[in-house]
Amino acid sequence: MKNWVDLAGEVLQGHELTDDEALEILVCPDEELLSLLQGAYKIRNHYYGNKVKLNMIINTKSGLCPENCGYCSQSSVSNAPIEKYRMIDKVSIIKGASQAHELNVGTYCIVASGRGPSNKEIDEVVSAVKEIKAQYQMKVCACLGLLKPEQAAKLKEAGVDRYNHNINTSANHHENITTSHTYQDRVNTLELIKHAGISPCSGVIIGMKETKDDVIAMARSLKVLDADSIPVNFLHAIDGTPLEGTNELNPRYCLKVLCLMRFINPTKEIRISGGREVNLRSLQPLGLYPANSIFVGDYLTTAGQEETADHQMLTDLGFEIDYCPA
């Protein structure tokens, strides 16, 4: 049996996983899962103790997207019966921040569907963010799609701390998921926001028919991109999307993926994101041994579990909410 705790110790000394070691994590026998989690927890605990960061999303614009991302219910190729609306007003965005504040959320994520924001939408977000930052001690993350440099500069000036733009999958698998923009387009936006001085958040969606080598490539790409925050989504295939009916995951494999992300990106915020409830199911609490962050509330077009259940889970684990927005 592999000694995962020793390997974690090596990672803490600066060891970078070989491809063989990375693959061993993903194919780790279930009998070794607790030992693997213990190794991942050793790393997580070293950098984050028992603290858990909370994020909350507001979907400020839903559906109506011309892109063709295969997993997304908001795309032009989806028939999913979701609510569709144009960007909500500033007052509603600020109201969402107030709810997030009441739930001790450290990062409020302002999300909008679409290939990228119009200048008018940027101005709406900028205006809301300025007020939120004046009123609340919380980090603000924007997720608005592909950006132009001048748009990134405006967001930075307004006080946006972080920008989310997921790589979603590996460079090799990308065109099986979407053809309306390239993997490089996504990388370019991440580079642009780093250049603007905004902290990069970028993550993945697991369970989209990728190989294990793709999963390892994703973890390594996020390391190269130096993403400060890594949301790990597990596909919750929505009827009416091209990936409808895809159901490749089991909770133990999801935990192994989270461990891989921790071993390859030891110092980073790793967040269990969309699909947590449906894919990890009763094993959700174990995900917080490798990961140190979760979303509370609903996702973009699917419901999450009640916030009270999330807070109860943290209490039961003996973990604490990381209120610090830094």
Contact positions toward ligand SF4, by CB under 6 A? 65, 67, 69, 72, 74-75, 113-115, 145
CB of 273 to ligand SF4, least distance (A): 13
Tell me whether residue 315 is exposed, middle or buried, using C-beta atoms within 10 angstroms of its C-beta: 0 to 12, 13 to 18, 19 or more: exposed
Q: Are 74 and 62 in contact (CB under 8 A)?
A: yes
CB nearer to ligand SF4: give 75 or 293: 75
Place of tokens 């190989």: 211
Single-letter amino acid, residue 202: S
CB of 244 to ligand SF4, least distance (A): 15
CB of 246 to ligand SF4, least distance (A): 16
CB nearer to ligand SF4: give 158 or 177: 177
φ/ψ region of 13 (left if φ > 0, alpha if ψ in -120 to 50, else beta) reads alpha
CA distance to 87, 145, 147, 151, 173, per residue, from 120 (Å): 10, 14, 13, 10, 34
CB nearer to ligand SF4: give 64 or 91: 64
Tell me whether residue 12 is exposed, middle or buried, using C-beta atoms within 10 angstroms of its C-beta: 0 to 12, 13 to 18, 19 or more: middle
The two structure tokens encoding residue 198: 């905004």
CB nearer to ligand SF4: give 74 or 229: 74
Place of tokens 């009270």: 308
CB nearer to ligand SF4: give 60 or 113: 113
Please tell me the distance from the alpha carbon of residue 210 to that of residue 183, in angstroms, as a whole number: 15
Q: DSSP E strands: which ranges in the chain?
A: 51-61, 107-112, 139-143, 162-164, 199-201, 204-206, 229-234, 269-272, 293-296, 320-321
CB of 222 to ligand SF4, least distance (A): 18
CB of 295 to ligand SF4, least distance (A): 16
Please tell me the distance from the alpha carbon of residue 131 to that of residue 235, in angstroms, as a whole number: 34
CB of 110 to ligand SF4, least distance (A): 14
CB nearer to ligand SF4: give 56 or 65: 65
CB of 213 to ligand SF4, least distance (A): 24
List residues bridging with 206 in a β-sheet. 234
